[in-house]
Amino acid sequence: MSLFRQSTPTSFSAEEVSSASLASRRALLKMGCACCFALAAPYALADAMTPEVERHLAAAKQAAGTDLEALLVLGRSADPNFKAPTPDLAKLIALSAPPPGKAFDNLYFVGGKWVSAWALTTSDGIILFDAMNNDDDAERTIEQGLKTLGLDPSHVKTIIVTHGHGDHYGGAGHFARKYGSRVVLSETDWTMMETKLEFDHPLWGRPPKRDVGVADGGKVRLGDATVDILITPGHTMGTISPIFEVRSGSQKHRALLWGGTAFNFGRNPDRLQAYVDATARAREIARQQGVDVFISNHSGYDGSVEKLAALASGGANPFVLGAATVERALTVMNECAQAVLTSWKA
Ligand SMILES: [Zn+2]
């Protein structure tokens, strides 16, 4: 499919991660940014920033408007005085889960307060996007959530894990063992998980056994559903941002689930450049395909918990953002990434 042309190669390779010294891995772990979303205050412009950095941050702010402000946290580290907070993963994992909910006729939220899981129903079972932190999450939040919504957890045939961090793969083994669910990750992240995990935490389930590997432009099919695999390198080098159809009555929409948002890889310009390129490319693909739904695997970025509550009280579906807003979201992320990258080069 022409829309999924090969992305421009960057100078980054997975090997650079694999060959990272133990010391630098420890430094990464110490950052505590294993997670993909930290609850934090928005940044303020600092005097120490160069005009070019300020231009990118202003462009991000302009694109964010008032509805996409949550994404602006990405720009905070462009401020040389900014000190990243150390998130307490145990506390984030322990947050009680919001009620599960139906976002579309074929898409259900079955995640936690901090990290999300989404269930796409098809004519031949369920595709689960991400499996949360561990077996306990898989059982108490995802399985229970599916049951509450009238769905059968044994119908989870496929789990697409967006990327190889434990808050997304930790519960996958539970479904694989209990229901024989197949686990899909990018080849790149399977290799990262098998060779050298970028992050780990005692509360995370072990990485699932290597199963189905996919690459950019691939498709995952189940029943009447086809999920297009878009690889958006940066957060990990094999992050999957799946694109698929969602339905509301007779209305059809095209959804993009952004698979890895935070810049949690230390000061690695090649990797951040990959993120800049990935957001620009995704924006182009979203525009061509008329993507009008943009969701995340951390509800702090997409407000899915609040949107589900709003949806339950009637009115227009708040998950349908429109193509222009989806483009703006990708612009916010792109400009924030450019701001931080520019600040590193200053
Ligand atoms: Zn992550």
Using the mean position of ligand 1's atoms as its centre, give its distance from the Cα of residue 28 in Å.
13
Using the mean position of ligand 1's atoms as its centre, give its distance from the Cα of residue 165 in Å.
5
Using the mean position of ligand 1's atoms as its centre, give its distance from the Cα of residue 117 in Å.
13
Using the mean position of ligand 1's atoms as its centre, give its distance from the Cα of residue 123 in Å.
30
Residues 210, 239: Cα–Cα separation, whole Å: 16
Using the mean position of ligand 1's atoms as its centre, give its distance from the Cα of residue 273 in Å.
17
Residue ranges with CB less than 5 Å from ion ligand 1: 36, 165
Question: Residue 328 to residues 67, 98, 166, 308, 313: CA-CA distances in angstroms?
Answer: 10, 27, 29, 22, 27
**What pLDDT is attached to residue 47?**
56
**Strand-strand pairing, 156-160 and 125-129:** parallel
pLDDT tens profile 71-89: 999 999 999 888 888 889 9
Using the mean position of ligand 1's atoms as its centre, give its distance from the Cα of residue 315 in Å.
33
Residues 120, 113: Cα–Cα separation, whole Å: 19
Using the mean position of ligand 1's atoms as its centre, give its distance from the Cα of residue 17 in Å.
15
Burial call 153-179: b when 16+ CB within 10 Å, e when fewer = bebbbbbbbbbbbbbbbbbbbbbbeeb
Using the mean position of ligand 1's atoms as its centre, give its distance from the Cα of residue 330 in Å.
18
- One-letter amino acid at 60 equals A
Using the mean position of ligand 1's atoms as its centre, give its distance from the Cα of residue 328 in Å.
22
Using the mean position of ligand 1's atoms as its centre, give its distance from the Cα of residue 112 in Å.
15
- Per-domain boundaries in the chain: 26-345
Exposed, middle or buried, 264 (CB in 10 Å: 0-12/13-18/19+)? buried
Is the pLDDT score of 296 beyond 90?
yes
Using the mean position of ligand 1's atoms as its centre, give its distance from the Cα of residue 232 in Å.
13
**What pLDDT is attached to residue 45?**
53
**What CATH homologous superfamily does 26-345 map to?**
Ribonuclease Z/Hydroxyacylglutathione hydrolase-like (3.60.15.10)
Is the pLDDT score of 17 beyond 60?
no
Is the pLDDT score of 120 beyond 90?
yes
Residues 273, 279: Cα–Cα separation, whole Å: 10
Is the pLDDT score of 22 beyond 50?
no
**Strand-strand pairing, 182-186 and 156-160:** parallel
Rounded to 10 degrees, the C-alpha dihedral 89/114/152/177 comes to -20
pLDDT band at 136 (very low <50, low <70, confident <90, very high): very high
pLDDT tens profile 243-274: 999 999 999 999 999 999 999 999 999 999 99
Is the pLDDT score of 19 beyond 70?
no
Is the pLDDT score of 42 beyond 60?
no
Lowest mean pLDDT among 25-29, 61-65, 156-160, 242-246: 25-29
pLDDT band at 46 (very low <50, low <70, confident <90, very high): low
The per-type count for the chain, helices as H runs and strands as E runs, is: 13, 12
Query: What is the pTM for the complete model shown?
Result: 0.88
Using the mean position of ligand 1's atoms as its centre, give its distance from the Cα of residue 260 in Å.
6
Kindly state the percentage of the chain with pLDDT values over 70.
86
Using the mean position of ligand 1's atoms as its centre, give its distance from the Cα of residue 341 in Å.
19
